[in-house]
Amino acid sequence: MRWRLIKANCSRRISSGERIRGSRRKKGERGIWQRRFWEHPIRDDLDRQRHVDSVHDNPLEQGDVQRAIDGRFASFHRDLQHG
């Protein structure tokens, strides 16, 4: 119940300029929440790095940007500064 309220509040505050796919629109869903989620404990440094790389590469894989550094909200910028 609590998470539903938190997500609903966040969704209302997000700009309406987001792209919403037809299947989500039919169900009244927003595109900011991941449909399927499961926890994954990070096992070691290599596993952590693979997950960080996946986050950086996701906008590329979705076709939203040409380079990871081009992402508007890319954590790539921050991580590049901190090594």
Instruction: Give dist(CA 64, CA 42) in Å, integer.
Output: 27
Give the mean pLDDT of 58-71.
80
Kindly report, residue by residue over 2-23, the tens digit of the pLDDT: 877 887 888 777 766 777 778 8
Q: Please write the tens of the pLDDT for every residue from 20-45.
A: 778 877 877 777 777 677 778 899 99
For residue 80, give the 3-state DSSP assignment.
helix
Model pLDDT, residue 8: 80
Q: Is residue 1 over pLDDT 90?
A: no
Q: Which pair of tokens denotes residue 76? A: 């790539």
Can you tell me the distance from the alpha carbon of 83 to that of 43, in angstroms, rounded to the nearest whole number? 21
